[in-house]
């Protein structure tokens, strides 16, 4: 789905589909912070509310979303002075981004829980000097 957006944008601007190498380099420059920022703004419909939720300043969030738009070479949001709406062409991208973030969160959460359990099993027993004597 990300590739579809990139291909459509690239076809519109250049007139041809980019090579696999070009596609990979574009997608690889997109970081998790970009995905989180775009999803938060899409969910809240507001840069200010999304910034509060993410714990960043509104200007920093705006720059992150603009970076994502530059990397993807497409406008993800239709902005007015009062509202922010997800661009029609970005719907599939946000759906894919949500799925990726969920999958990563689930995997990382599972790893943390498993690591936490195994850490408890192998914790050394602490004894005071009085109990050893």
Per residue in 13-62, pLDDT (tens digit) is 444 554 555 555 555 688 899 999 999 999 999 999 999 999 999 999 99
Cα within 13 Å of Cα(38), Cβ side: 32
What is the rounded average pLDDT of the residues 125-132? 55
What is the rounded average pLDDT of the residues 81-107? 88
Scanning the structure block, which residue is given the tokens 């990300």?
2
What are the pLDDT digits (tens) for 52-88?
Answer: 999 999 999 999 999 999 998 899 999 988 889 999 9
The values of phi and psi at residue 124, to 5°, are: -65, 150
96 pLDDT above the threshold of 60: yes
Per-residue pLDDT band for 112 (boundaries 50, 70, 90) equals: low
Determine contact, residues 92/1, Cβ cutoff 8 Å. yes
Distance CA 29, CA 15 (A): 23
Determine contact, residues 74/56, Cβ cutoff 8 Å. no
pTM of this prediction?
Answer: 0.63
The values of phi and psi at residue 79, to 5°, are: -110, 140
């Amino acid at each position: 789905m990300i590739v579809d957006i990139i291909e459509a944008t690239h076809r519109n601007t250049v007139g041809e589909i980019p090579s696999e190498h070009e596609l990979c380099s574009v997608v690889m420059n997109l970081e998790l912070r970009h995905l989180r920022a775009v999803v938060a703004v899409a969910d809240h419909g507001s840069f200010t509310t999304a910034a509060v939720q993410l714990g960043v300043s509104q200007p920093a969030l705006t720059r992150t979303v603009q970076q994502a738009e530059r990397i993807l070479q497409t406008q993800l949001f239709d902005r007015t002075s009062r509202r922010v709406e997800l661009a029609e062409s970005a719907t599939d991208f946000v759906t894919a981004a949500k799925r990726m973030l969920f999958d990563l969160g689930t995997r990382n959460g599972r790893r943390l829980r498993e690591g936490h359990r195994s850490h408890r099993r192998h914790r050394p027993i602490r004894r005071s000097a009085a109990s050893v004597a």
